[in-house]
Amino acid sequence: MNPTTVWIAIGLTVVGCYLVKLLGLLVPAETLERPVVRRLAALMPVALLAALTAQQTFSAQGSLVIDARAAGVAAAAVALVLRAPFLVVVGAAVAVTAGVRALGG
Amino acid sequence: MAEQTAPPVIREQPGPAKPDAAVVRDALGVGVAVGLSGFAFGVTAAGSGLSLLQTCALSLLVFTGASQFALVGALAAGGNPFTAAAGAFFLGTRNAFYGLRLSQLLALPRAVRPFAAHWVIDETTAVALAQPTRRAVRLGFTVTGLTLYVLWNLTTLLGALGAEAIGDTAAWGLDAAGPAVFLALLAPMLRTTTERATAGIAVLLGLGLLPVLPAGVPVLVAALAAPAVLWAQGRRAAAREKREDAR
């Protein structure tokens, strides 16, 4: 990865993420209280996280693949259904992915 | 790093006082559990090719987990810096709504707000909003923020160093940590049909467009699932009203 590219991305993210945090503390409450704005703000992370989860599970160098990560993320899903703590969920994904790779998957 | 999606309603009446020790205990519980997952971020970032300095800069200066993971994932996938940052930014916008709630509950002097803003995230909001009095809100916010900030950065550093030491992080299954974190953040949000429909459409868009659009762009297009579902919902509600009026 080109370090300059990465630093530009980091700089933009730092500024953007900080400004939205500050915005909430500074603006009068009514400004962002419109129901449609609130609904959208609650729903946007759902769409982004769902797309990111799917992509990071099933993509490699810009194409769709099914590999050991799919098994790992499936294990994480099972852990979530069983209401396991956050760290156990992540640990399950890592362990199962490593296990499947070790078995040649 | 997401205890809740929709910003909760502010209680009008302050409840009875809560002992400081109980507030601190709640705050430490959340701060320690989530702070330790900075390890997963450090490993993921370093495994994706970010330098130690870049990885630590993200945790120190961005300090909102989902955005950090999203940025690293998009960069690793070959996205350009602008689309990668845009995804991270959109994930961070929910913090503005947390700030709206917290600004009333914390009632901080204006000079302190720029500093407090850095700690406005899912966990500090969840702990602060659960407290009955202003004193407890401020204590809960501060203890959660401090614990999480210190641990998140410390474990990021350790994770990044560990990833550099072990070399091929994929062999250890560590490339599954990122998507598992996203799934853990997403799961509690999928409460109603609206959320599930949005997630489903976003997955289809994200995967379907992946082979045809440049890296980073499909995720941003997938974010449009949110306004699309809200729009469809509004249309259906309007149609139902019309039918009922006609009756």
Pairwise CB contact (< 8 Å): B186 & A43: no
pLDDT at B14: 53
Q: Which of B183, B199, B218 sits opposite A77 (nearest CB)?
A: B183
State the pLDDT confidence band at B15, using cuts at 50, 70 and 90.
Answer: low
Shortest alpha-carbon distance between residue B213 and chain A (Å): 9
pTM of the model: 0.83
Range name among A67-76, B6-15, B36-45, B223-232 with the lowest pLDDT average? B6-15
Per the CB < 8 A criterion, the answer to whether B180 and A52 are in contact is: no
Contact status of B156 with chain A (Cβ, < 8 Å)? no
Provide the pLDDT for residue B63.
97
Return the higher-pLDDT residue of B34 and B8: B34
Q: What is the ipTM of this complex?
A: 0.90
- Optimal mutation site among A5, A56, A67, interface B, most CBs of chain B within 10 A: A56
Dihedral sign (CA A53, B222, B79, B158): negative
Q: How does pLDDT run across B97-122, given as a tens digit for each residue?
A: 889 889 989 999 999 999 999 999 98
For residue B212 the two structure tokens come to 């045809």
Kindly state the average pLDDT of the residues B188-203.
Answer: 94
> With an 8 Å Cβ cutoff, is B133 touching chain A?
no
Q: What is the mean pLDDT of the segment spanning B12-30?
A: 80
User: Which residues is A63 bridged to in the sheet?
Assistant: A60
Contact B63/B149 with Cβ under 8 angstroms?
yes
Nearest CB to A46; choose among B34, B69, B195? B195
> Domain limits of chain A?
1-33
**Is residue B78 within 8 Å of B215, Cβ to Cβ?**
yes
Between CA B134 and CA B105 the distance in angstroms is 6
Q: Could you tell me if B55 and B156 are in contact, meaning their C-beta atoms sit under 8 angstroms apart?
A: yes
- Which residues in chain A show pLDDT less than 70? 105
Give pLDDT, residue B17: 79
Residue B11 backbone dihedrals phi, psi, to 5 degrees: -75, 135
The two three-digit tokens of residue B185, written as one number: 């953040």
